[in-house]
Amino acid sequence: MPELPEIEVTRRTVHQRLLGLRVAEVQLKRSGKTSMHGAELLPSLVARRLVDTGRRGKMLVLYFESDLALLVHLMLIGRVALYQGGPDSFEPRLRLRFEGEQNLEVRFVAARSLALVPSGLVDAYPSVARQGSDALAITLDGFIGALRRSRGAIKGVFMDQSLLAGVGNAYADEILYDAGVHPLAPVASLSEGEEQKLHAAIAPVLRRAIDLGAAEEYVRFLGPAEGLTRKADLMRVHGREAQPCPACGASIEKVELGGRGTYYCPRCQPR
């Protein structure tokens, strides 16, 4: 599933390629698996310019002139594809074609949650309003407050979007590894120093992935995805069971937590 870094890289890609262009055509494929709040407003996007882009946790936001915003959650298998006309390589749920000589299109493939709302109501939209602080912006006090509202294993804090928005299963493992904290450590058992280390690890882990373009699996360019990196190639522990820890050489171990595979180094992250 795409997490904060992948959505941020996608946002920057769309911003660079499409900002200022007018929508020429809109097509929505209706499906029982795809919800579209505000679908009746889609025809009104035609002739409107894309004036800004944004991100709310794991959600991509496209702002159009005259006060309309498109919110997209790629969920588990969604993709964003940029094309220069031509036939679809993937079957999109939503397709926006933009005016101009390049005939650019953005296609949201298998995006399961879509919404078109007034720009001023983005933060009030339920999926956004339920989110906690953004993982790139949360302060130490805000993070400690989220911990105080939590019980159970520390990894659960990073998985709960109402406490910390944008982090999912993979980057939770990477943050915990960077901080040297065992993923199954009870929240109540954390020392003040461990809390500070966890908070200090969040932004560097996410920014490293953003800077390295961690989105090749989730965004398709007008040809090869130049400058992008596979998310899986950036992982130091996640998905690397039985491989050596890059810091100490111990074998990475895997446990199940809430039905999700959780990876850690038993030596760098002692319980």
Kindly state the helix (H) or strand (E) to which residue 51 belongs, with its residue range: strand 50-56
Say whether 2 is catalytic. yes
> One of 49, 230, 260, 267 is an active-site residue; which one?
260
* Phi, psi for 222 (deg, rounded to 5): -80, 60
Q: What is the model's pLDDT at position 224?
A: 57
Q: What is the model's pLDDT at position 35?
A: 64
Q: What is the model's pLDDT at position 103?
A: 78
pLDDT > 70: percent of the chain: 93
Q: What is the pLDDT of residues 168-194, one digit of tens each?
A: 999 999 999 999 999 999 999 999 999
Q: What is the pLDDT of residues 48-82, one digit of tens each?
A: 999 999 999 999 999 999 999 999 998 877 788 88
Q: What is the model's pLDDT at position 105?
A: 87
Structural domains of the chain in order of their starting residue, each with its CATH number: 4-129 (3.20.190.10), 133-214+233-264 (1.10.8.50)
Asked whether 253 and 240 are in contact (CB, 8 A), the reply is: no
Q: What is the model's pLDDT at position 1?
A: 83
> One of 3, 6, 105, 174 is an active-site residue; which one?
3
Task: Write out the two tokens for 32.
Answer: 């029982």
Closest CA to 63 of 80, 73, 55, 136: 55
Q: What is the model's pLDDT at position 220?
A: 74
Asked whether 72 and 28 are in contact (CB, 8 A), the reply is: no
Q: What is the model's pLDDT at position 84?
A: 74
> One of 2, 5, 92, 183 is an active-site residue; which one?
2
Q: What is the model's pLDDT at position 202?
A: 98
Say whether 260 is catalytic. yes
Asked whether 199 and 157 are in contact (CB, 8 A), the reply is: no
Say whether 58 is catalytic. yes
Say whether 3 is catalytic. yes
Ranges of H-type helices in the chain: 4-18, 126-129, 140-148, 155-159, 169-179, 192-211, 231-234
Q: Kindly give the parts of the chain with pLDDT less than 50.
A: none
> One of 11, 58, 79, 97 is an active-site residue; which one?
58
Closest CA to 14 of 108, 110, 113: 108
